Chains A and B, each alone.
Chain A
């Protein structure tokens, strides 16, 4: 069972470069999320989506964009990478309202370094 799959798992960028992280889930979940994890900061929500074609800002959205063109995919884009975006990024998904037990299912993370 694949669950939540993130690609790539590792990436090194130079300041100003752009890139896209892909998250794919095969559990038919309605909700999807992007978090970043930094030492001593826990996980902070970047953007989330409650359904195909809809996205919303989380706690730390600046410098990121997202798209949810297909239910199973949630893309996180960095248009112009900055060293402050060096982090580990986690994608997660969950059932939607009505069947929502609250549990999130996480990918294994994508480690991004911006030089």
Chain B
């Protein structure tokens, strides 16, 4: 089974400051990793994903994340945030389809979310 821990429930920052949202995961098999964003009163939108290959992945809206297998982390970063980045961010993990895990492991497991509040 997989699990995800988002280390900060709320992150307040000023506009144009850098930000890092932290995510650690636990799994006995190889995984895919994701960050989703949820703007107020909306559904979830994919920001970026790590499937394989380069450990630094770039997503939409200037966000990037780095997969660190030894630290079992997948932290999300942005060098300069905007007011419009205010939203809730979810880290998620899923067993790889070739991991040998049965189909019960195909669901996406989410962290509890981090609320990013950007102020001027």
Which A residues contact B (CB, under 8 angstroms)?
31, 33, 35, 40-45, 48, 50, 56, 58, 90, 92, 94, 97-98, 100-104, 106-109
Docked Cα-Cα span, A109 to B40, in Å, equals 12
B59 → A minimal CB distance (Å)? 12
Residue ranges of B at the interface with A (Cβ–Cβ < 8 Å)? 6, 9, 32, 34, 36, 42-46, 49, 51, 90, 94, 96-97, 103-104, 106-113
- Out of A58, A90, A98, A103, which one reaches B107, CB within 8 Å? A58
The docked-state distance in angstroms from the alpha carbon of A106 to that of B45 is 7
Nearest B residue to A33 by beta-carbon distance? Answer: B107
A42 touches B90 (CB 8 A): yes
Q: B44–A102 contact, CB under 8 A?
A: no
Give the shortest distance, in Å, between B117 (CB) and chain A (any CB): 15
Residues in B neighbouring A44, C-beta threshold 8 A: 110
9 cross-chain pairs, A with B, having the tightest CB-CB distances, nearest first: A102-B32, A42-B112, A106-B43, A43-B110, A108-B43, A100-B97, A106-B44, A42-B110, A102-B94
How close is B82's CB to chain A, nearest CB, in angstroms?
A: 23
A109 with B43, Cβ < 8 A, contacts A42-B111, A42-B112, A58-B107 known: yes
Query: Which residues of B are found within 8 Å of A98, using beta-carbon distances?
Result: 97
A112 to B120, CA, bound (A): 34
B43 touches A97 (CB 8 A): no
Bound: A45/B105 CA distance, A: 12
Contact between chains at B90 and A48 (CB < 8 Å): no
Given A102-B49, A108-B43, A40 contacting B104 (CB threshold 8 A): no
A100-B110 contact, Cβ under 8 Å, with A42-B90, A106-B43, A108-B43: no
Q: Is there an interface contact between B104 and A56, defined as CB atoms closer than 8 Å?
A: yes
